[in-house]
Structure 1
Amino acid sequence: MKYNLLALVLAFVASSCSSSSDGNKDYREENEAEIAAYVAENNLLATKSTSGLYYVIEDEGEGKNISLISDVTLTYKGYTTNGEVFDTTRDDLVSFNLQGVIAGFAEGLSYLNEGGKATLIIPAHLGYGSKDHGNILAGSVLIFEVEVYSPSMIAEKNDADIQAYIEKEGLDATKTASGLYYTMDEAGTGAQPTSESKVKIAYEGSFLNGKKFDESGTLGVELELSKVIDGWKEGIPLFKEGGSGKLIIPAHLAYGSYNYSAIPGGSVLVFDIDLLSVIE
């Protein structure tokens, strides 16, 4: 199931559906009744904000406070009051800035800190208003179960995912003190680089699910290790010239909780590398 829905929608759709003067229907009254029935039926202790958002905080979180303009890394499940799921990350992490999501989602997360967990019940004027949006019907009340990950939670999840990957693939991997994992197919016999060296490397980069996001080709590329991600800066010097193996790099040694090109925030990166030469 796709889970890029939220990040593609402007946050302030409410301004376009709060009245019927332009032909848009105002669903507030019927949404309020629907939410009240849902809260009662599920015995929820929900708080209502001045905007009309309802939320239930399971855990406020102990990390950095979240604002309406924060970058967040999280998991979520979105469904309607009849229980029909329209979007979910499952166990995958996703990252985005809250300025790019629906107003109710951004407001709800602003009541949390990193590490927080909550259920948000969002009326249509804080969601997608009076227009259908994908498989979400006009006027729908949206419910999101969300868990915002702190950097330490991301690192813990990354490590568990890496260990599961290693077991699944039957790899003989070593973990360093920083959290980097590596395998060594060939140690190499030539010069050994430092973290400041310029080297020529052939590589292929993929995620734990095997999806490839980058590759150099067999001829390789020249690069300075002082200017690459920490996982490479540490991992490449483990090999000598002619060496080859795999680097399995958690997010805190790569791009952290931020999206980078085609790499989602919080991602573990797997690189198959061949150290072709140490240039200087």
Structure 2
Amino acid sequence: MKSYLTLFLSIILFTSCLKDDVSCTPQTEDDIIEYIESKELATTESDSGLHYIIENEGTGKAATENSVVDIKYKAYLLDGTDNGESESSILNLETLIPGLSEGIQLLKEGGKATLIIPSELAFGEAGNSSGSIPCGTVLIFEIELIAVHDDYDAQNEAAILKYIDDNNLEATKTESGLYYVVNNEGTGEIPTSNSSVTVAYKGYFLNGTVFDESTVSGATFGLNQVIAGWTEGLQLFKEGGDGVLLIPYSLGYGEYGQGTIPGYSILAFDVKLISVND
């Protein structure tokens, strides 16, 4: 089952903010060697200092430093402390800590590896911005490279078109890349990009998992305060109208996601424009 928990990713995978006045005793290469010997592991060390074990190199497409990848992972510290896991996480290698990016590039699709990442290839002596990764911490990842998407915009588009076809929808595409279905155009006022509107909605991923839903009476907000796909999409309806918005990641929450919405997510919304309030 695909995981939509992105809290861990937002905490440890991306470049951290440096802290001032940090004092700690970083874990060193000696600590890594002690761990390797205690577990009787046969590791290889790269020129950068990354230690790794390749269980299976894989046979598909290889990742590059610019790739968007889908990985399965389990992360922990040298003392065994669990630091999260995911069955499927879509990530841009350009945004990851150096050790993880380097390690993923050792694999092809289907490949599996264990990475032992020294602190200088992770968050260094600063630790991460939330404090959940202490300063100077070595990180360990068990990873599986599920897929490599060198052109994720095209992958996003293909997934939307497949969803439209599978569900026999009559959808229209706008210049921005938004797809929409008008079930009922409505007869009232048309909102503008600055309007306050009341909308009843249900938001879900293409696999049907619901991530947000309003009450029947709807929620009120400004169209200048929401994701671009909503700002554009609601202007396609008049009061009383309803339909479906299929929003590519570029018009949604982008590469990084937000809350329970992972990066690169396509978002689907059933919407009904109840009223335009100004």
Pick from 5, 18, 29 the counterpart of residue 32 of structure 2. 18
Contact 1:119 1:143 (C-alpha < 8 Å) held by counterparts: no
Alpha-carbon distance, 1:218 to partner: 0.4
Alpha-carbon distance, 1:173 to partner: 0.7
Match of 2:242 in 1: 244
SS at match of 1:108: helix
Q: Which amino acid aligns with 2:210?
A: K
1:1-38 C-alpha deviation (Å, 9 max, x unpaired): 56679849978987695254xxx552698514xx6xxx
1:213-265 C-alpha deviation (Å, 9 max, x unpaired): 00111011111101111101111011000000000000000110112011000
TM-score when scaled to structure 1?
Answer: 0.64
Alpha-carbon distance, 1:53 to partner: 4.1
Match of 1:51 in 2: 49
Quick check: 1:183 aligned with 2:181?
yes
Contact 2:62 2:148 (C-alpha < 8 Å) held by counterparts: no
Quick check: 1:218 aligned with 2:186?
no
Alpha-carbon distance, 1:155 to partner: 1.9
Structure 1 residues not aligned, in runs of 5+: 36-46, 64-71, 80-85, 128-139
Q: Which amino acid aligns with 1:233?
A: T
Match of 2:69 in 1: 74
CA distance in 2, matches of 1:120, 1:274: 45
Alpha-carbon distance, 1:107 to partner: 3.9
Match of 1:154 in 2: 152
Match of 2:103 in 1: 108
CA distance in 1, matches of 2:141, 2:274: 57
Q: Which amino acid aligns with 2:69?
A: L
Cα 1:49/1:78, change in 2 over 3 Å: farther
Structure 2 residues not aligned, in runs of 5+: 14-25, 75-84, 119-139
Contact 2:71 2:146 (C-alpha < 8 Å) held by counterparts: yes
CA distance in 2, matches of 1:167, 1:207: 16
1:158-200 C-alpha deviation (Å, 9 max, x unpaired): 1100011011111111111111000011000011111111111
Cα 1:27/1:224, change in 2 over 3 Å: same
Contact 1:13 1:126 (C-alpha < 8 Å) held by counterparts: no
Cα 1:120/1:206, change in 2 over 3 Å: closer
Alpha-carbon distance, 1:74 to partner: 2.1
Alpha-carbon distance, 1:274 to partner: 0.5
Q: Aligned residues, how many?
A: 226
TM-score when scaled to structure 2?
Answer: 0.64
Alpha-carbon distance, 1:142 to partner: 5.6
Alpha-carbon distance, 1:144 to partner: 4.5
1:80-95 correspondence to structure 2 within 5 Å: 89=88, 93-94=90-91
CA distance in 2, matches of 1:17, 1:93: 31
Alpha-carbon distance, 1:156 to partner: 1.3
Pick from 256, 275, 278 the counterpart of residue 277 of structure 1. 275
